[in-house]
């Protein structure tokens, strides 16, 4: 009985902070989502309007566009990062075993400030003096600015995202490769399996759980993409690169439509919590294994 009350002292400060900066703000946004509240419209002063904000959302073409953009970016980016990351991991695992310093070097793009990664994208792709943009123009692949063209802007975002996150997938998989047990390989050798058979029948099944966690983290992170797009295109041209978080930003911090913006936030949150459930299960399975 004494120890039960005692537990509270360990979690109380965290619980108070969690309540103050996460739960109360979240519930505030939840109540806003049922109100008409805007800093720019004098008649929207917080009246209760039921599910009107959500109804507006259902008929908002830009809302669907933002989900479309997010998936158009997410799916190819993650497939690319998964494949390149796997190839890279297989390639570098041997060298990493000898020189662990390769891990922090490889992870520089993943961990350095995303805003600066976006800046790298803007500058290298600049058509006039950018080291890649110039090259693309000379090859005739792109006319003018890559980021100013709605056909190529999203491709550029995918490329920069892949530059940033492929090393992350590769390093997680490398850690997996280096932690693989030796026995299954000896058994495969005894059975006379060749390299390709060994890879598909032994390495891939053992590596699979690392792959799942890396990809799930990437899916959730891709859903949140904001900084890089903000620096590179601000969602443009038009709405060509306006991913979900950028769209939500437009309605909250530019139009100051708090009611509608909050409804948007809730929809995003539901999406994230579904994705996180899968990640959580994968992580849990792992920690108990």
Q: In terms of CB distance, is 101 or 139 closer to another protein?
A: 101
Contact (Cβ atoms closer than 8 angstroms) between residue 66 and residue 147 = no
Instruction: Using the minimum distance from each CB to another protein, give the nearer residue, 77 or 172.
Output: 172
Residue ranges in 182-221 that form contacts with another protein under rule CB under 8 A: 210, 213-214, 217, 220-221
- How near is the Cβ of 216 to another protein at its closest, in Å? 10
CB of 2 to another protein, least distance (A): 11
* Shortest CB 128 distance to another protein, Å: 6
* The two three-digit tokens of residue 48, written as one number: 């209760």
* Interaction of residue 128 with another protein, rule CB under 8 A: yes
Q: Which positions ≥6 away from 46 have C-beta within 8 Å?
A: 35, 36, 37
236, 284 Cβ separation under 8 angstroms: no
The 77-116 site mask, x for binding another protein (CB under 8 A), equals: -----------x--xx-xx----xxxxxxxxxxxxxxxxx
User: Nearest distance from residue 202's CB to another protein, in Å?
Assistant: 18
Pick out residues in 139-178 that bind another protein (CB under 8 A).
163, 167-168, 171-172, 175-176
Q: Which of residues 38-77 bind another protein (CB under 8 A)?
A: none
Binding positions for another protein, 3-32, rule CB under 8 A: 3, 6-7, 10-11, 13-15, 17-18, 20-22, 24-26, 28-29, 32
Among 120, 142, 157, 240, binds another protein (CB under 8 A): 120
Single out the segment in contact with another protein by CB under 8 A; choices: 129-137, 139-147, 149-157, 199-207.
129-137
72 by Cβ neighbours in 10 Å (0-12 / 13-18 / 19+) ranks as middle
Of 28 and 45, which has the nearer Cβ to another protein?
28
Q: Which two tokens stand for residue 93?
A: 């695992």
Q: Which of 64, 200, 278, 286 binds another protein (CB under 8 A)?
A: 286
Contact with another protein (CB under 8 A) among 144, 197, 277, 278: 277
Instruction: Provide, rounded to whole angstroms, the least separation between the CB of residue 163 and another protein.
Output: 7
Number of other CB atoms surrounding residue 187 within 10 Å = 11
Residues 254-273 that bind another protein (CB under 8 A): 258, 261-262, 265, 268-269, 272-273
């Amino acid at each position: 009985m004494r120890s039960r009350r005692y537990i509270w002292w360990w979690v109380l400060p965290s619980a108070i902070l969690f309540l103050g900066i996460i739960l109360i703000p979240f519930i505030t946004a939840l109540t806003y989502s049922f109100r008409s509240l805007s800093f720019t419209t004098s008649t929207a002063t917080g009246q209760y309007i039921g599910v009107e904000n959500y109804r507006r959302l259902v008929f908002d073409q830009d809302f669907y566009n933002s989900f479309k953009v997010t998936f158009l970016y997410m799916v190819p980016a993650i497939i690319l990062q998964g494949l390149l990351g796997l190839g890279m991991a297989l390639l570098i695992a041997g060298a990493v075993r000898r020189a662990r310093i390769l891990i922090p070097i490889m992870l520089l793009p993943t961990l350095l400030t995303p805003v600066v990664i976006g800046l790298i994208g803007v500058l290298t792709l600049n058509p006039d003096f950018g080291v890649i943009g110039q090259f693309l123009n000379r090859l005739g692949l792109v006319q003018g600015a890559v980021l100013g063209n709605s056909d190529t802007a999203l491709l550029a975002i995918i490329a920069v995202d892949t530059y940033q996150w492929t090393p992350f997938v590769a390093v997680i998989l490398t850690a997996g490769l280096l932690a693989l047990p030796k026995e299954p390989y000896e058994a495969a050798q005894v059975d006379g399996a060749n390299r390709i058979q060994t890879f598909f029948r032994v390495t891939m099944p053992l590596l699979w759980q690392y792959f799942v966690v890396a990809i799930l983290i990437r899916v959730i992170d891709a859903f949140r993409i904001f900084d890089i797009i903000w620096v590179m295109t601000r969602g443009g041209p038009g709405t060509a690169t306006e991913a979900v978080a950028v769209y939500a930003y437009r309605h909250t911090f530019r139009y100051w439509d708090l009611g509608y913006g909050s409804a948007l936030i809730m929809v995003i949150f539901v999406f994230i919590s579904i994705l996180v459930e899968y990640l959580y299960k994968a992580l849990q399975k792992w920690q108990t294994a």
